[in-house]
Structure 1
């Protein structure tokens, strides 16, 4: 009888503890990852970012001010890893991991690859002298509202396009795989 009561107590305690779990405090901007592979299935690039939600807010020019450096997502600054040497706007990018910052504006964004990694946000953490490259990319209108900040890779003949979009705006950043250059 003692064993039965002990077992009953454990079952009641366990079911009460599980049913009392509060998941309302889950991350409001969950971590996401996008990966692109080479034609031989080896990885070419990976990006890790947190994906904030629009939730009816004005995003660019509001929540994300124009002309200011942005961590390109939420929480930790977005990181991109290249498994091959790449080229962006004529600049060689050695394989490795970089923080991806952006400066959104209405007509174009500044895309920044920075050597300082494992960064939370931008305040007091962004160091311009650590920039590897800065390029401009035109801001484009999305065909439909993008509720969650999203990042994807689009394969090209000799590399990939990095697509980043949120709300009614997206940018496309071409990267060329140096190994596939003519």
Structure 2
């Protein structure tokens, strides 16, 4: 009788393992997060803290790859609203009130869109959350728009990357960097 119980248990374990092998693979554009301060996720001294206690901002986004394609002007058309990434619209969470390029924005979560051109991007912080792409973007829900010049990156960036870096000596002053292919924009964000 015990042998039948052991065999039944092994059969259940084997069938569960088989099911796990049917899971889909990795996304083509994996999700990532960027924090400010940038070292939050890599510095163990922050580990016991709640994110909002030590972090001013967090960006959640998917990282599409260049894959030999022409990105800006082709894959991401100029002059059209873009979700700044792939899959779901990128979301920015400010844990405290902030200023983006000198314009005030309240603490909260915002979808981040951009209208790229060859020379500048208009970055859009929008209150409509949980959107897939920019397909249902609603301009009337824009909270803030800023324009920033386009720069050429020193090296080719294969996967879209968003990072923060400290701007000067004050920890409350940062630069949000968005880079992909050979294009880079930098936006001052202060808290």
Q: Give TM class, smaller chain.
A: 0.7 to 0.9
SS in 1 for 2:67: coil
Q: Would you say how many aligned residue pairs link Structure 1 and Structure 2?
A: 174
Q: Map 1:151-166; keep pairs closer than 5 Å.
A: 151-156=162-167, 157=170, 158-166=172-180
What residue in structure 2 maps to residue 180 of structure 1? Answer: none
User: Cα RMSD over matched residues?
Assistant: 2.4
Q: 2:161 aligns with which of 143, 150, 165?
A: 150
Map 1:83-162 onto structure 2 (within 5 A): 83-123=95-135, 125-156=136-167, 157=170, 158-162=172-176
TM-score with structure 2 length normalisation?
0.81
Unaligned runs of at least 5 residues, structure 2: 39-45, 47-52
Matched, 1:77 2:89: yes
Give the Cα separation in 2 of the matches to 1:4 and 1:99.
52
Corresponding position of 2:31: 31
Judged with a 3 Å threshold, the aligned counterparts in structure 2 of structure 1 residues 23 and 166 are, in CA distance, closer, same or farther, namely farther
Task: Give the one of 176, 179, 182 matched to 2:190.
Answer: 176
**CA drift at 1:66:** 0.7
The TM-score normalised by the length of structure 1 is 0.85
Contact 2:87–2:133 (8 Å) recurs in 1: yes
Q: CA deviation at 1:2?
A: 3.6
The answer (yes or no) to whether the contact 2:163–2:178 under 8 Å persists in 1 is yes
Q: Give the Cα separation in 1 of the matches to 2:162 and 2:120.
A: 17
The structure where strand makes up a greater share of residues is 1
SS of structure 2 residue aligned to 1:129: helix
